[in-house]
């Protein structure tokens, strides 16, 4: 590959997203890696001995993305690409020993919570959910408790959380988890490695739904895990190979193509989110707003200490209006928009908006009138004009 780990360490992330994962700088080499469509490889050696072997074990199209995400997260090893963010969640949870204790934010991404709850129902793990912004409560959840007095095996972090935008004190919590003998997995989907680097903050494993910012165009579903620990990486690789949650080569190629513009997209969408959050916070149709970039946000100080920016997700609670309750007014707002796309997901070039509780899986502690906005890269004044005309239809 074109960029060694040593070279990457000396370059800024804006350069690494462009330069990492390229073919060797040799005459007639393509500047972009090819898509390799093959389910098997010439060879007479046994599987698991380092040869490519078979398409569930490895594919050359995965390698450039895995190299790039490893370098961006500051890891000593390449990342691992998965079929989806949730396939990566499943693989990370497989690190917990049978019956082990998993401490997880009450407001993690709903799919992650559903998976953990199902594992707990079958008694494969013990699940303790906790307000991740409450450091003392997390420490208490990590400590030995329950009939068998077990301490936690894994601390799951998501910061900011989806969708409540709670901010965890990552350095304090990784320290406490390690003291308790737990490993720490941090879902860094909302921030990207450009905004937050969980390995440097003490996390053992970083997770991404590559579907979101990293691929960035709402056209692929993929996930990734990154670690600097060779034993953890081997266990994850074995799990991916045997459970089969592998990425398709076309998707892997598209993700690398999307990654090339990550720095520009993140910069633009963060700037626009800051402008929109400020304006939304004084609109009378809005009851409350969450955005860690606002000085009034409860997570602002912590976010400022551990993030390089505040991301581009904003959540608002819509006030009851015109005889509608808050949820009804939120639905009306979403329907009145003409530029913002009413769709689930986040992190693409296009701005997306949705009322989260329309999904049955969303925790009931997420307010019914909460609307999540994923700010894209369109012109900020166009985005504001559309939001304002839709909010004004509520007559607040
Ligand atoms: N983690 C977070 C924070 C998410 O928002 C999502 C999806 O919305 C996932 C994980 C799951 O990723 P995927 O949809 O790629 O499986």
Domain count, the chain: 2
Q: Interhelix angle for 262-280 vs 380-392, to 10°?
A: 30
Closest-CA residue to 245 (of 67, 62, 50, 52) = 62
Active site residue 213: no
Q: What pLDDT score was predicted for residue 214?
A: 98
C-alpha separations of 75 from 123, 125, 131, 177, 371 in Å: 33, 28, 28, 20, 35
Catalytic residue among 22, 128, 212, 290: 212
Q: Are residues 283 and 198 in the same domain?
A: no
Domain end point (choices 210, 243, 259): 259
**383 and 275, same structural domain?**
yes
Q: How far away, in angstroms, is 86 Cα from ligand 1 center?
A: 6
| Residue 212 designated active-site | yes
- Any residues with Cβ below 6 Å from ligand 1, and which? 84-86, 109, 111-112, 158, 162, 187, 189-190, 209, 211, 221, 223
Residue nearest to ligand 1 atom 15, measured at CA = 85
Give 227 Cα–ligand 1 centroid separation in angstroms.
19
- In this structure, the answer to whether residues 215 and 273 fall within a common structural domain is no
**Residue 88 CA, ligand 1 centroid: distance in Å:** 9
So what's the pLDDT on residue 200? 98
Mark whether 250 and 374 lie in a shared domain: no
Q: Which of 244, 259, 274 is the last residue of a domain?
A: 259
Residues 136 and 243 in one domain: yes
Neighbours of 5 (CB within 10 A): 16
pLDDT truncated to tens, each residue of the chain (396 aa)?
A: 668 887 888 999 999 999 999 999 999 999 999 999 999 999 888 888 888 999 999 999 999 999 999 999 999 999 999 999 999 999 999 999 999 999 999 999 999 999 999 999 999 999 999 999 999 999 999 999 988 999 999 999 999 999 999 999 999 999 999 999 999 999 999 999 999 999 999 999 999 999 999 999 999 999 999 999 999 999 999 999 999 999 999 999 999 999 999 999 999 999 999 999 999 999 999 999 999 999 999 999 999 999 999 999 999 999 999 999 999 999 999 999 999 999 999 999 999 999 999 999 999 999 999 999 999 999 999 999 999 999 999 985
187 included as an active-site residue: yes
pTM of the model: 0.97
Contact 103, 176 (CB under 8 A): no
Domain boundary among the residues 225, 259, 293 is at 259
Secondary structure string (H, E, C) spanning 194-253: HHCCCCCCCCCEEEEECCCCCCCCCCCCCEEEEECCHHHHHHHHHHHHHHCCCCCHHHHH
* Torsion over CA: 53, 55, 58, 62 (sign): positive
**Nearest atom in ligand 1 to 112's CA:** 10
Q: Is 109 among the catalytic positions?
A: yes
Considering the domain architecture, whether residues 227 and 300 belong to the same structural domain is answered as no
Smallest CA separation from ligand 1 atom 14, residue: 85
Q: Is the same domain home to 235 and 88?
A: yes
Round to whole Å and give the CA distance between 43 and 54. 10
* Residue tagged active-site, from 169, 187, 331, 386: 187
Angstrom CA distances, 180 to 49, 153, 157, 167, 373, stand at 36, 8, 15, 21, 37
Residues 185 and 207 grouped into a single domain: yes
C-alpha of residue 103 to centroid of ligand 1, in Å: 18
CB-based contact 166:132 (threshold 8 Å): yes
3-state secondary structure of 357: helix
Mark whether 295 and 198 lie in a shared domain. Answer: no
Q: How far is the CA of 85 from the centre of ligand 1 (A)?
A: 5
Residue pair 106/130 in contact by the 8 Å Cβ criterion: yes
What's 207's domain CATH number?
3.40.640.10
Instruction: Measure the CA–CA gap between 167 and 188, rounded to whole angstroms.
Output: 12
Residues 199 and 268 in one domain: no
Same domain, 94 and 139: yes
**380-392 vs 326-336: helix crossing angle, rounded to 10:** 130
Domain hosting residue 330, numbered range: 263-395
Q: Between the CA atoms of 158, 359, 390 and 296, what dihedral angle is there, to the nearest 10 degrees? A: -30
What number does the ligand 1 atom closest to the CA of 223 have? Answer: 15
Domain of 337: which CATH number? 3.90.1150.10
Q: How far is the CA of 380 from the centre of ligand 1 (A)?
A: 26
The ligand 1 atom at the shortest distance from the C-alpha of residue 158 is: 3
Residues 210 and 70 in one domain: yes
CA dist., res. 284 & res. 267, Å (int): 29
List the catalytic residue out of 41, 54, 56, 150: 56
Residue 126 bridge partners (DSSP): 101
């Amino acid at each position: 590959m074109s960029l060694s780990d040593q070279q990457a360490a000396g370059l800024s992330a804006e350069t690494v997203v462009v330069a990492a994962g390229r073919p060797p700088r040799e005459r007639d080499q393509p500047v972009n890696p090819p898509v390799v469509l093959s389910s098997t490889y010439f060879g007479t050696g046994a599987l698991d001995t380092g040869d490519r072997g078979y398409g569930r074990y490895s594919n050359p199209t995965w390698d450039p993305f895995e190299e790039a995400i490893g370098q961006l997260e500051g890891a000593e090893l390449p990342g691992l690409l998965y079929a989806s963010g949730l396939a990566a969640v499943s693989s990370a949870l497989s690190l917990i020993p049978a019956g082990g204790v998993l401490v997880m934010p009450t407001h993690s991404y709903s799919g992650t919570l559903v998976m953990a709850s199902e594992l707990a129902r079958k008694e494969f793990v013990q699940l303790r959910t906790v307000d991740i912004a409450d450091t003392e409560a997390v420490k208490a959840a990590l400590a030995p408790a329950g009939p068998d007095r077990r301490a936690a095996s894994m601390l799951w972090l998501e910061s900011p959380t989806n969708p409540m935008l709670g901010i965890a004190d990552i350095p304090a919590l990784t320290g406490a988890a390690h003291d308790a003998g737990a490993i720490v997995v941090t879902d860094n989907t909302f921030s990207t490695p450009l905004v937050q680097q969980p390995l440097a903050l003490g996390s053992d494993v970083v997770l991404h739904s590559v579907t979101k910012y990293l691929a960035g165009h709402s056209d692929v579903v993929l996930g990734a895990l990154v670690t600097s620990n060779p034993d953890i990486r081997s266990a994850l690789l074995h799990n991916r190979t045997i459970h089969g949650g592998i990425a398709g080569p076309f998707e892997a190629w598209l993700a690398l193509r999307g990654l090339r513009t990550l720095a520009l997209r993140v910069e633009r969408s963060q700037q626009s989110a800051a402008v929109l959050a400020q304006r939304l916070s004084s609109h009378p149709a809005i009851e409350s707003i969450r955005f860690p970039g606002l000085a009034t946000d409860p997570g602002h100080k912590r976010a400022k200490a551990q993030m390089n920016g505040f991301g581009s997700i904003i959540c608002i609670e819509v006030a009851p209006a015109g005889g509608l309750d808050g949820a009804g007014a939120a639905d009306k707002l979403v329907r009145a928009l003409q530029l913002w796309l009413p769709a689930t997901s986040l992190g693409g070039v296009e701005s997306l908006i949705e009322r989260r509780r329309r999904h049955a899986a969303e925790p009931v502690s997420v307010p019914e009138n909460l609307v999540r906005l994923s700010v894209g890269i369109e012109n900020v004044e166009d985005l504001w004009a559309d939001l304002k005309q839709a909010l004004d239809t509520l007559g607040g």
